[in-house]
Chain A
Amino acid sequence: MTTNLPTPGLRDVPTAETPMTRKDFASDQEVRWCPGCGDYIILAAVQGFLPTLGLRKENIVFVSGIGCSSRFPYYLETYGMHSIHGRAPAIATGLATARPDLSVWVVTGDGDALSIGGNHLIHALRRNVNLTILLFNNRIYGLTKGQYSPTSEPGKITKSTPMGSVDRPFNPVSLALGAEATFVARTLDSDRAHLTEVLQAAASHRGTSLVEIYQNCPIFNDGAFDVLKDKEQAEARLVRLEHGKPVRIGEREWIHDAHADDPSRAFEISRLDDGTMAHVPIGIFRQVERPTYDDQVRSQLTAAASTQGEGDLDALIAGSDTWTVSHAPS
C-alpha cells in the first residue's frame, strides 16, 4: 500500500514505505566537479532534502542538459537522464505528461537554460507542466572552460570576450515571470537552510517551478556572488522574500504577496537588482495556482474515454465508408 502526500505537486507520486536517508539517494558514481565547486553543496543539499519528501525513489527522475551542472543526475540514486544541450525541459515535458506518478526534476545551467534552451524554458513555464527546474546560475559557461553566458555582467572579460562582453544579460527571474511562470524563486548555493526550504516549496507546487540557484564556479568565475555571502555585506544586500511577511529596503516597506494573480509586482521586485547586487531578492517571488498542462492533457483523455467509450480499433480503422467484396468476380 502506498499513501500519497498532501502536497499538490506530488499528489500522484507514491510514497516510500520506510523512511529513507541521504545515503539512499547517493549513487555509486564518483563526483567529478572541481574542488570547491558550488555544485557540491547543492548536491549535498538535494541528497539531504530528497528523503524528506518521503517518495519512492524509483518514482523520482532527474533530467539534465549539458554543462557541469548537468552532471547532477549521475550522482543521485534515482532514475535520471543526462540529455543534450538545452533540451531537458522538452524531454521532461514529455515524461511528466506521460507519467503523473513521477516527480520530475530538471537540472540546467545558465547557458543550458537561457542560451541554447531558452525556447524550451519559456514554453515549459507558460505551459505549466508539473516539474521542478533547478537553474544553476554561475554566470559563466563552466564546462566549455569559461566563455561568458547570458547571465554574465556587461563588460565581462572572458576567453571569448577579451575586451569585455557587449551583451546585455538576462535576469532569469524577470524572464520567468514574463513567460507566465507560476512559481519562481531564487536561492544561494551557500545557504543550505534557505535552499532546502525553497526546494520543498518548489516540489510541492503543482506546475512548473523555476528555482534559480546562485552557484559559485571557483575556476572560471570565482566570487561572483561573494558580496551576497560576505557576513558584513550580505544582510544589507539580500532582500528576503516570504509570503505575508514584511520586506524592508531602506525607507520602503511592504508586505510580500507571492500569491498575487498579477505578476507585475513580482516583476518589479525582480528588478530591484539593477546588476550591482545592491539589493538582491531571494526567496519565492511568485507562487500561484493555475491548471497544469499535463493534468489538462490527461483529463481530456479521461473525458474522451468516458464520453465516447474506450477506443475500438476495428471501428476506428473501418471508418464510416466501407464496402464489402464477397467473392472475386471471374
Chain B
Amino acid sequence: MKQVPNAMVEQRTTVGFKGVDSLCPYCGVGCALTFRVDASGERILDVQGRDGAANAGRLCVKGRYGYDYAMHPQRLRKPLIRRESSYPKQPLSGDVKGNGGGPRKPGGIVDYDEILPHFREASWDEALDLVANRLAGLRDRHGGDSLAGFGSAKGSNEEAYLFQKLVRAAFRTNNVDHCTRLCHASSVAALLEGIGSGAVTNVVRDIENADTAMLAGCNPTDNHPVAATFIKDAAVNGTKLVVVNTRRPRIADHAEIYLQIHPGTDVALFNGMMHVLIRENLIDREFIDTRTEGFSELRKVVEEYDPDTTAALCGVDPDDLVRAARLLGGGRRAMIFWGMGISQHTHGTDNSRCLISLAMITGNVGKPGTGLHPLRGQNNVQGASDAGLIPMVYPDYQAVDDPGVQAYFEDYWGTSLSPKPGLTVTEIMGAALEGQVRGMYVQGENPFVSDPDTNKVRKALMALEFLVVQDLFLTETAEFADVILPGSSFMEKLGTYTNTDRRVQIGRPAMSLPGEARQDWEIICEIGTRMGYEMRYESVSAVFDEFAGCTENYKTLSHENLGRYGKWYPCLDPATSDGEPIVFGDTFPRGKALLVPARLRQPEEHVDSDYPLILNTGRVLEHWHTGSMTRRSAALDRISPDAFVEINPEDAARLHVVDGAMVEVASRRGSIRLKAKVVPRVAEGTVFVPMHFREACANVLTSPALDPQGKIPTFKYCAVRVRPLEGASHGKEAMGG
C-alpha cells in the first residue's frame, strides 16, 4: 500500500525565515508584498503578494522574481575614490567610450575589472570630507549655481525631501531635478496649468465604475502590469476600452476600439474627437459652465479638426474616430489613462492639455469611474515630485520664485535660499558642457544611459570638475565620478513611497546593508552637515514629519498612522479614513479648470530619405530603465537577455532584414547594433528600441529636443535608418534564437 508522505524526507537545508511586509521596488502601481528573508537578513528567499489597495495580492514578474539584484555580488561595499593616475577623466569601459570598441566581455552589465582599477577604497570619513570640501569649494568660488544634483524617484519620500533640501540649503541653488523630467514633466505642467494639481484625480481601480476608459500612449501590460489586470477585469465586466497608440500594446486585445495613429499626430486625434463631441452635443454643458473656463477658444480651435481630414492625418478610420468620441461623451462615465507615449514629445504638454479638455467638456472629473490618470512610472515618482525634487518648486509644488514661499522655507530651514528657478535634467547637462555647472551629486540615477543623446551626455559628464555618484553598483555614470558612495537598496531601507494612485505606503527593511554601505538618507545628511549646513535627524519618521509639515497633502500623515497598508492623500482624518480615492468633486485647486486649446505642430525632427524611419523607445515587461537592477536579477535577465529593434515586416522585406539578424540603427547623432525582431505590432515606417540595454543604448539615437513647457525630451520621436549588418544576416537559427 502506498504511504502518504506526511513528514518529508529531509534532504534539503532548512532555512528559518521571517516575513517583512513591504512594497515592490519597481513601478508606480505600488504593489504591497511580503519579503520572506532568512535570519541573517542577507538573503531574501521569496516574495508573496500582499492585500494592498493597489494590488489585492497580485504581482507581476518584476515584483515576484526581480528582488535578487540587491544580493548581487557586484553591490558596492566601500566608498571609492578615483586614483590620481586616472586623471584627466575619461570614460573607462569600451561600452561607455562609445568608440565602437564594445565591451571586453559580452553581457549586459558593467565589467568591474575594467573600472575598479581606476578607483581605490577609502574610509567614509575621507570620502565624505572630500565630497563636502570639493562641493563647498566650487560653491564658494563660483556660486551655488555652479552645482547641481539629480535625486532619485526610486528612493523614498524622506530621501527625496532631504536631497532637495541639501541642494537648496547647502549647495545654495535650485538646480535639483530627477527623472520625472524624462517621464511625466509635460503631463504635470499641463495639469498644474489646467487644474492646479499634478496628481491623478481617480485611482486606477476606480475603472471598475467606468463605462469607458481611454488608454492613450501607454502600454500597461508591460509597464504597469498589475494595474493592467484591473483594467482587463473592467473590460471583462463591460467597460469599453479605447486604446490609442503608435505601436500595438497587448491591452489592445481587450479594446472596443484600437486607434493606431501616425507618430506625433495625437493632438489632431484628440481635437478631432472633441470636434465630434461638440458637433453631436455629447458634451456636459453644465459642467463646462460651472467648472471650467476657456471653452469658446477651445471650441474655435477644435472646429478646424473635422473627423474626415483628421482621421486621414492620423492614419485611422474616420468611423473609428467618431465611435471613440461617442464612447467618451453623452453622459457616459469615462476615465482617461495616459503614459509616456503622450508625455515624451516636444508637444507633450499639448497632448496632455487635449486629454484634460476631453475629460472636462464631457464632465468626466470628480466622480466615480471618471478622471485623469497619468500612469506614473517609477515607484516613487509621484512622491519625489511632491517632495520638491523639481527645480522650480519646493515641496508641495510651492514656487521658488514666490517671495512669500521663499521666506517661509528660509524660516523652516533656517538659512537663506535662492529665488532663481533651477535648471532641469537636460538643461543641467547642457550647462555642464558649457562649464556653468561644475560639480554634481548624482544619487540613484544613471543619466549616461537614461538621458537623450548619449554622445552629448558623455562630453558633459567629462567636463564636470567634480562628480559624486551614490548608487548600488558601478553604473555607466559612475565611470565619470571622482567619488563613488555605496548606498542602500530598497530592501534595506525604511521609508514612504507614493504610488500612481497618490497612496502613501511604507517600505520596510528586509535585509541588512552589505559591507560598509550606508543608508542613503544618512549619507545625504552627512554631506550637508560637512558642508556646514547641519542636517541631523533622530529617525526616518522624523524626516517624514518635517516633510509633511511643509505640505498640505501629507500634513495629516505619519509613519504611525500609515501602518501596514498606507493611505491615499489627501486624508483629512487618518484615524477614521483611508484617504480620498477620488478628488475634485466640487472644485479644482485653481478654482475653475482652464481649457487650453492646442494645434498640431510639426515635430522638431524630420524624416527624410537618409533617415526614413521613426524611432520609438520604451520599456519591456521584464526590465527597468537602465537595467542596473533588472539585468542583475537572474530570472529577469534569463527571460529577457538581449537588446532588439522591432521592425514591421514590410520595412524588413524592403531593407532585407531577417528576423533575428543583427542590424545597425543610426540616427543623426549616433548608431547602435542589435538584433532585429520582425513584428507587425510596429507600424510600417516605424521601429521600436527598448531603453534598457547599455550595449545597444537607445539614447545614442534619441534627440535632446525639449517640450517648451515640460522641458521633457522627445524620446518617442526621432528619425533613423536601419541596415542589415554584413555577414550577420543568417537569421534566427545562427543567432541562437
Tell me whether A and B are bound partners. no
Using a CB–CB distance below 8 Å, which chain A residues touch chain B? Answer: none
